[in-house]
Structure 1
């Protein structure tokens, strides 16, 4: 069996708010709470397990999304009122990027994590 990422734990000020926010933006659903976690599962089976915490550093999660779904995802980011920006350092506020011939944008979740959606992986398609 090849090694695969199964899940990551994402600390949040309010796990329910953060999990529901990300699920809504990506067009996914939250799963029922499991222990202290509220999971959001991506299309490739990786689960983000949101857990309440008051002490954490900012995380960054990037999601490769189909170009056909980009407009709907970006519209939900704008509708949410979340701060979004073109670059990982937070510059280019209110803008998207077009690196590697695709589209990408960073946005803040309710706990201050930097989420990213992009249509082309870094370096382009091989």
Structure 2
């Protein structure tokens, strides 16, 4: 068997709020949850497991490759909700998207303060 990515735990201030944010933004169905995790499943089977750790949350970066149509809908939701977003990872070009790597991209923060990136073309 080759190695594939299966799941990651994402620290959240409110696990249900963070899971709902990602489900709505990326148009994902609810997934079975258990124990300290509220889960969201991506179309390739990867689980995002949101949990509330007993420590201060450090910002992490998560990037999602989406098609052009989902990018348009997700970007519209970000704008409709007044979520601050940037065209660059250093957060200098506010209110813009980028057109790098032959596609489009945008950066923003999720409810727990993690840096999230949506891109329409992979970097490689």
TM normalised by structure 2 equals: 0.93
Tell whether the 8 Å contact from 1:20 to 1:29 is kept in structure 2 after alignment: no
Tell whether the 8 Å contact from 2:26 to 2:70 is kept in structure 1 after alignment: no
> Match of 2:8?
8
Aligned-CA RMSD value: 1.2
Map Cα deviations across residues 62-85 of structure 1 (whole Å, 9 max, x no partner). 100012322111111212222211
Alignment of 1:105-116 (within 5 A): 105-116=106-117
Matched, 1:103 2:83: no
Matched, 1:37 2:37: yes
> Match of 1:18?
18
Q: Which stretches of structure 1, 4 residues or more, deviate above 6 A after TM superposition? A: none
C-alpha distance in 1 between matches for 2:30 and 2:109: 19
Tell whether the 8 Å contact from 2:28 to 2:40 is kept in structure 1 after alignment: yes
> Match of 2:61?
60
Tell whether the 8 Å contact from 1:16 to 1:38 is kept in structure 2 after alignment: yes
C-alpha distance in 2 between matches for 1:29 and 1:111: 21
Count of residues paired in the alignment:
123
C-alpha distance in 2 between matches for 1:63 and 1:47: 13
Unaligned runs of 5+ in 2: none
> Match of 2:48?
48
Tell whether the 8 Å contact from 1:38 to 1:50 is kept in structure 2 after alignment: yes
